[in-house]
Structure 1
Amino acid sequence: MNVQMRMDPDAVAATGSTLAGIAQRMASDVAELDATVAGPANPWGEDESGSAFALAYQAILGHALGALGSYVQQMGDAAVSLTMQARAVATADLTAASEFSPGGLP
């Protein structure tokens, strides 16, 4: 089976850069969410009902923030992988081209 893959390394690297920006914004948003719901000015208030809600909410908050943090990490890892793959393909293309050009490797 003969399969060809066509890839524009510049486009893949640009996508990696865009994804890195998304991961950074997500990390900032998660930090802001954490500060809002866990900070002194929490959104449910200081009354009895708010305090009861906060106890129940805090039980799941750590899990939710952990999951969001994991998603941010995965986005960042994907961004790095895309950028590295684009560089590897560009390097392989340049090496292959030099082997076929006059004055290239024998």
Structure 2
Amino acid sequence: MSHHRLFAQLAFERALGLAALNALAQAVAEGDQFRAGGRDRDPPHFWVLAGELEEVVQDRIRDVLDGPGLAVVERGELFHQPRIVELVIAARDARNAPS
């Protein structure tokens, strides 16, 4: 494989990983925003929607773990988003923990 092709592949994988991480960060922010404004909502409706938003966050975490996003986190490229790093690392450790 040529050097150019290798660098292009690495750049593509990094971009894919960053896209998954950005989707995770957006899902977390939307969940936080919903919970912050949710005090005025009907309690059962609020908790159903909050649960659905948490499912979206968990789906995005799986996307990061199953794709190149984990490598981006492990290389320390997401130092400016410590909460996202914490979520991903905790999920990775939980996934790798012996049952």
Percent identity over paired residues: 13
Question: 1:34-73 alignment to 2 at 5 Å?
Answer: 34-38=35-39, 42=40, 54=41, 57-73=42-58
Q: Give the letter aligned to residue 36 of structure 1.
A: G
Q: Which residue of 2 aligns with 1:82?
A: 67
In structure 1, runs of 5+ residues without a counterpart are 1-7, 43-53, 87-106
Q: What CA distance in whole angstroms lies between the structure 1 residues aligned with 2:48 and 2:33? A: 16
Structure 1 residue ranges (4+ consecutive) displaced by more than 6 angstroms after TM superposition: none
- C-alpha deviations, 1:54-79, integer Å up to 9, x for none? 4xx21121111111111111112202
Within 5 Å, which residues of 2 pair with 1:83-98? 83=68
Structure 2: gaps of 5 or more residues: 1-8, 72-99
Which has a greater percent of helix? 2
Aligned residue pair count: 64
Matching of residue 14 in structure 1 with residue 15 in structure 2 = yes
CA RMSD, aligned part only?
2.5
What residue is the counterpart of 2:32 in the other structure? 31
Offset at residue 9 of structure 1 (A)? 4.6
